[in-house]
Amino acid sequence: MRCRYQVHRRSDKDGSDFGRGGEGGTCPIRSNAPKALPLARRAGTLDNVMERFGDYILERPLARGGMAELFVARHTPSAATVVLKRLLPEMEARQDVVDLFLTEADIGQLLRHDNIVRVLDAGERDGHYFLVMEFVDGLDVDHLLADAWFAKHPIPAAIAVRIAVDALRGLHFAHELRSPKGTRFGLVHRDVSPDNLVVTTSGVTKVADFGIAKLATLEGATQTGILKGKLTYMAPEQVQGLALDGRADGYALALVLYEILSSTRPFGQRDGESEINHLLRVRRGDVRSLAGLEPALPRSVTRSVDKMLRAWRFFRHRSCGAFADAIEAAAMRDTLIASHADVAAHVQGARQRHAQVALTRAQYT
């Protein structure tokens, strides 16, 4: 069925809603091996123009997935640097894909929060569907984990807690989103993972890519029984195909925080493990207690994470907001939460380390 929430078709805009640009984008799904970090780059100039697309100049490719391609672009009326996501030509003939893409655009334009990557514009141009997002200057958590692996120095627990609290605030806002009539949309992200958590150079974490999110009030946005998301970060009820609420996103975020604090993935696929056995292990929700795995961490913090990772969701924190409150209060009691300035310094350090590695490689190639 066609998305019931009308996407904004491109019209003359003064660009006043466009934020300032920066570095960022959507990263590929994380593999077991760490990946190289991206060099900080600025968007190109008119000399580098790839393509003009309506009011946008596509300056360089950023990523390409199975459904859409992303570009660093410039909004010509405002000169703002943005990220433009365009549906692939071969996908435009599939009505289900078009509906999913338009739903992402509709959802994104409703989400206005400091801890969510903003969708600035969306529509259709010459038969091509697109949406435009703010261009976030920073690194995603996936790259910070890779940096920690290469540097052989884990991400400090205080940094991890601040990242988690920020992300939980953004998710809670999305879960509580209501229509002008006061109807709760029941939005669930469904794909919370390290590559969808972007940490800016100012130290603020933003949740990205609500592309497979589902509105409870929008029937047909996803097919019942089809898994959408990354198995490593799924809640048991998501694997079981049950109706989801915000606790599924909270569970996924708790898995990310668990991974940062322990350098362990509870549901990473094991060597020689079949896909079905991997799925069944996630379905059971068997996670070793973080309190037992990392006894040096304050128990008030690890207990809060362990509570959010209970297999039966009715035993978890009631919402992402409640989880954020609990973990923030526990961390503050133990002085285990960093400031945004501390997080910003960590991101800058990761960039500098990568720049040094890239320079060394260049000298030998």
Q: Compute the distance between CA of residue 194 and CA of residue 209 in angstroms, rounded to an integer.
A: 12
- 222 and 115 in a single domain? The answer is no
Count structural domains, the chain: 2
Instruction: Give per-residue pLDDT as tens, 147-180.
Output: 999 889 999 999 999 999 999 999 999 999 998 8
In a domain, 203, yes or no: yes
Statement to judge: residues 204 and 241 lie in one domain: yes
**Rounded to whole angstroms, how far apart are CA atoms 157 and 262?**
9
Higher pLDDT, 230 or 345: 345
Q: Based on the domain organization, do 124 and 145 belong to the same domain?
A: no
Same-domain check for residues 130 and 249: no
Which residue, 131, 130, 119, is CA-closest to 174?
119
- Do 193 and 329 belong together in one domain? yes
Residue with tokens 């393509």: 51
Task: Report the pLDDT value the prediction gives residue 365, as an integer from 0 to 100.
Answer: 62
**Identity of residue 111:** L
pLDDT recorded at residue 158: 97
Q: What angle do CA 325, 234, 321 make, to 5 degrees?
A: 15
- Does residue 24 sit within a domain? no
- Give the pLDDT confidence score for residue 18 in this predicted structure: 37
Would 209 be classed as within a structural domain? Answer: yes
Least confident of 25-29, 258-262, 264-268: 25-29
The amino acid that residue 236 corresponds to is P
Q: Are residues 183 and 282 in the same domain?
A: yes
Quote the domain boundaries for residue 266: 138-342
Residue 34: pLDDT band (50, 70, 90) is very low
pLDDT at 192: 96
Quote the percentage of the chain above a pLDDT of 70: 81
Q: What is the mean pLDDT of the chain?
A: 83
CATH at residue 127: 3.30.200.20
Let me know: does 37 contact 138? Beta carbons within 8 Å: no
Segment 271-289 shows an average pLDDT of 91
Are residues 130 and 219 both part of a single domain? Answer: no
Domain-ending residue, one of 96, 117, 134: 134
> For residue 135, what pLDDT band results from cuts at 50, 70 and 90?
very high
With a cut of 60, say whether residue 129 has pLDDT above it.
yes
The predicted pLDDT at position 49 comes to 54
Q: Is 235 inside a domain boundary?
A: yes
3-state secondary structure 109-134: HHCCCCCECCEEEEEEECCEEEEEEE
Residue 362 inside a domain? The answer is: no
Q: Which of 134, 160, 189 is the last residue before a domain boundary?
A: 134
pLDDT at 31 over 60: no
C-beta of residue 103 within 8 angstroms of C-beta of residue 88: no
- Active site (annotated) includes residue 191: yes
* Residues 167 and 225 both lie in one domain: yes
pLDDT tens digit sequence for 38-72: 433 333 344 455 789 999 999 999 888 878 899 99
Q: Annotated catalytic residue: which of 55, 191, 195, 209?
A: 191
| Confidence at residue 212, expressed as pLDDT on a 0 to 100 scale | 63
Average pLDDT over residues 97-113: 85
Query: Which 3 state secondary structure label does DSSP give 336?
Result: coil
Do 242 and 302 lie in one domain? The reply is yes
What mean pLDDT is predicted for residues 96-107? Answer: 83
Domain assignment present for 103: yes
CATH for 322: 1.10.510.10
pLDDT reading at 86 higher than 80: yes
**Looking at per-residue confidence, does 213 or 238 come out higher?**
238
Q: Please identify, among 134, 157, 179, the residue that sits at the C-terminal boundary of a domain.
A: 134
Q: Are residues 145 and 119 in the same domain?
A: no
Residue 300: inside a domain? yes
pTM of the shown model? 0.81
**Structural domain includes residue 237:** yes
Do 158 and 222 lie in one domain? The reply is yes
Q: How confident is the model at residue 270 (pLDDT cuts 50, 70, 90)?
A: confident
Residues 227 and 121 in one domain: no
> Does residue 329 have a pLDDT over 90?
yes
According to DSSP, residue 47 is labeled G
